[in-house]
Amino acid sequence: MRRFWLAISHIAPLPFDFLVKTGCLKRPAHAYCMWNAAKLAKGLGYNEISVAEFGVAGGVTLLIIERYAIDIEKQLGVRIKVYGFDTGVGMPQTEGAEDLPYWFRPAQYAMDVDGLKGRLTSAELVLGNVRDTVTEFFVNGDRPPLAAIFNDLDYFSSSCDALRILDTPCANFLPRLFLYLDDVVGSANEMYGPTNGELAANDWFNRTHDRIKIHLNQNLLPESHHYWRYQIFYAHLFDHKRYSDYIGGTDQLGIEDALRLQ
């Protein structure tokens, strides 16, 4: 069915949210996060947002995300600025066993920076170690609020450093963010789990932060056809000044109707 809808979409463009629901896009999890982040932005009255891929390598995924941003803007009218964070020279040194040194090596996944820049149409590369670049990222105050993070940095140490972007002022973000973690499932060689790599970084973040919490999405769990449902997380910025703005709208009215005695 996925192939069928994909083939149809090449002949006659289908609505982006339909493609998200059917899971037939090349990066369904990224599409899900971007679509829903843009919807949340629209509901709150933001007309532009940022999304960031942490760990770009050759740029295969970044180029796809860039395309999704255009499609979503056409449908929802929310502009999405795409950023890609990477050293530009591949994986840094591992910093401990939690970085999975049995599976990842320094200098792996090096980027052809000029080649990728030549192919990107709107996405911006943020080159350097995320340990340094995330703290500088919002300094000029000219970035749209960040609404989705795609973490493919592999290491525990790099993922912790990337999450430090959430230590910058709440105004740099939507009140709730969509997070995608790439290295959650993997193979019997990789052995990803809550004590290593990207997942362990989420745990570290929650242990060290009281007013921002990250958790696995619950709403996708019954959707067993979405193989990526264990890879989507939400970040709640409880101190964000827009956190409590009501977004129930017609969805909530439907629930209220269903619960009313006839």
Binding of residue 28 to ligand SAM (CB under 6 A): no
Among residues 195, 191, 169, 192, the alpha carbon closest in space to that of 181 is found at 192
Q: Is 205 exposed, middle or buried (0-12, 13-18, 19+ CB in 10 A)?
A: buried
SS3 category, 211: coil
Contact set for ligand SAM, span 58-77 (CB under 6 A)? 58, 60-61
Interacting stretch for ligand SAM, rule CB under 6 A, among 15-23, 56-64, 135-143, 213-221?
A: 56-64
**Residue closer to ligand SAM, measured from CB, 52 or 78:** 52
**Residue closer to ligand SAM, measured from CB, 153 or 177:** 153
Binding of residue 231 to ligand SAM (CB under 6 A): no
**Residue closer to ligand SAM, measured from CB, 87 or 217:** 87
Beta carbon of residue 121, minimum distance to ligand SAM (angstroms, whole number): 17
Beta carbon of residue 75, minimum distance to ligand SAM (angstroms, whole number): 24
Handedness of CA 29, 159, 164, 86 (dihedral sign): negative
Residue 80's H or E segment, with its range, is: strand 79-86
- Contact flags string 117-156 toward ligand SAM, x per CB under 6 A: ------------xxx--------------------xxxx-
Beta carbon of residue 103, minimum distance to ligand SAM (angstroms, whole number): 11
Binding of residue 41 to ligand SAM (CB under 6 A): no
Of the residues 37, 51, 56, 82, which one makes contact with ligand SAM according to CB under 6 A? 56
Q: How far is CA 186 from the centre of its chain?
A: 18
**Residue closer to ligand SAM, measured from CB, 46 or 86:** 86
**Alpha carbon distances (Å) from 70 to 130, 196, 228, 254, 255:** 26, 35, 23, 31, 33
HSE-up of 258 (CA within 13 Å, CB side)?
A: 6
**Residue closer to ligand SAM, measured from CB, 84 or 175:** 84
What does the block give as tokens for 143? 């970035």
Binding of residue 57 to ligand SAM (CB under 6 A): yes
Binding of residue 158 to ligand SAM (CB under 6 A): yes
**Alpha carbon distances (Å) from 132 to 117, 135, 195, 201, 245:** 21, 6, 25, 17, 33
Phi and psi at residue 39, in whole multiples of 5°?
-65, -45
Contact set for ligand SAM, span 97-116 (CB under 6 A)? 109, 111
Which residue minimizes CB distance to ligand SAM? 55
Question: By CB under 6 A, how many residues form the interface with ligand SAM?
Answer: 24
Separation of alpha carbons 236 and 213, rounded Å: 5
One-letter amino acid of 143: R
Q: Which residues bind ligand SAM (CB under 6 A)?
A: 53, 55-58, 60-61, 85-87, 90-92, 109, 111, 129-131, 152-155, 158, 161
